[in-house]
Structure 1
Amino acid sequence: MTSRVTLVSPATSPSLRQARFYDGDSIDEVGATRAREAAGSLRAPARVVASPSARCRQTAAALGLDGVETPELAGLDVGHWRGRTLEEVAATDPAAVGRWLADPGWAAHGGESVRDVCERVGRWLGTAQDTDGRTVAVVEPEVVRAAVVQVLGLPPTSFWRLDVAPLTATELSGRAGRWNLRLGQPLPRSATASVG
């Protein structure tokens, strides 16, 4: 049995455009339009899941997908840094930012560590590999990063070296305890998308 998982990153939102830690905002009109244009471009899934965030739920809906919120696929909880830019945090506590970027086990911001999110996503991938058919998962960029770290057996320190663009698809196919990876394909406009 081969399991296939397509991880779709969310459409743009103000926090994403401003490089702020996600604060629960909605996708913007440009992102919603782009997602609607890509509706129907993904292969028909047996199941659809989504990170429990507004922008992932809205991206799924704009893609014409009805996703089940899956807590294991939540984005990285950054605690009291939520809604702030990395530069703002670094201006007030540069040592904390340095430690956070260098130590995947550090979570003194009151949220979760990079190592924790990688392990959480790894557990979900273990259950997904036991599921036959195609799964589309509309997930936060950190979930895509964590999945790549887990699938390739990378050290958690590589987490921040992986860039995930909005509305891209990362495809995993797995069998017998092993995953293969196809990275960040942009979602094409569907044949039925209106022009102009």
Structure 2
Amino acid sequence: MTIRITLISPALNRSLREARFDEGSPLDPRGRACAESAAGSLGAADRVLVSPTARCRETASALGLAAVPEPELAGLDMGRWRGLTLDEVMAREPDAVLSWLSDRDAAPHGGESVGALCERAAGWLEETATFGGRTLAVVEQELVRALAVTILGAPGPAFWRLDVPPLTATDLSGQSGRWNLRLGRELGAEGR
């Protein structure tokens, strides 16, 4: 049986607009309006999950989804860097930033490493593959990247080379541990 998973990236909020490590800010009015305009474009799902972050929960709500929070779908824990831009952190801790960007197992911010995020995402995918039916999940962009790197067996640096725009769908389909990946489909753009 083919497993189908659709990952939806959240709408814009202050953190995304300002390229900040998310500090839990809500959707901004424009992000909410964009999500509301895409409501009804996702089709039926057998289960709907959501990351516990504010912007993912609010995106799911604006899309009209009755989603169940799933702790395993949380975004990357950025520790003491939460709320800061990469430039701000680079000015304060340049060696720590370079370590974080070059070593997937580094977590100089006191949070979670990219490697740990990828392992968590892989575990969630393995568990989800046992669920029959279509899963829809509203998740942070870095979780989409972690799953893409995992599915493709790509080297660690590939994580930094994937761009996941807001309010896009990434479709995973597969069986027996073999996955196909379709990245960055705009919501409501199934026929394009």
Residue correspondence of structure 1 range 43-192 to structure 2 within 5 A = 43-188=43-188
> Deviations along 1:110-145, whole A, 9 cap, x unmatched?
001000000000000001111111111000001000
- Matched AA of 1:81: W
TM-score if structure 2 supplies the norm length? 0.96
Partner of 1:11: 11
What amino acid maps onto 1:128 in structure 2? Answer: T
CA distance in 2, matches of 1:124, 1:90: 32
- 8 Å contact from structure 1 (residues 37, 189) kept in 2: no
What letter is aligned with 1:166? P
- The Cα shift of 1:21 comes to 0.1
2:40 alignment counterpart: 40
SS at match of 2:137: strand
Q: Which amino acid aligns with 1:36?
A: E
Q: Which runs of 5+ in 1 are unaligned?
A: 191-196
Cα displacement (A) at 1:166: 0.3
3-state SS of 1:49 partner: strand
The code of the aligned residue for 1:29 comes to: P
SS at match of 2:30: helix
Stretches of 4+ aligned residues off by more than 6 angstroms: none
| 1:35 alignment partner, SS class | helix
- Letter paired with 2:137: A
Structure 2: give runs of 5+ residues left out of the alignment.
none
CA distance in structure 2 between the aligned counterparts of 1:81 and 1:31, rounded to whole angstroms: 24
Structure 2 counterpart of 1:24 = 24
Q: How many residues align?
A: 190
TM-score, scaled relative to structure 1: 0.95
The DSSP-based 3-state class of the residue aligned with 1:183 is strand
> Aligned-pair distance for 1:156?
2.1
- 1:35-58 Cα offsets, whole Å, 9 max, x none, are 111111012100000111110000
Amino acid in the other structure paired with 1:136? L
- 8 Å contact from structure 1 (residues 118, 156) kept in 2: no
1:193 corresponds in structure 2 to none
CA drift at 1:189: 7.7
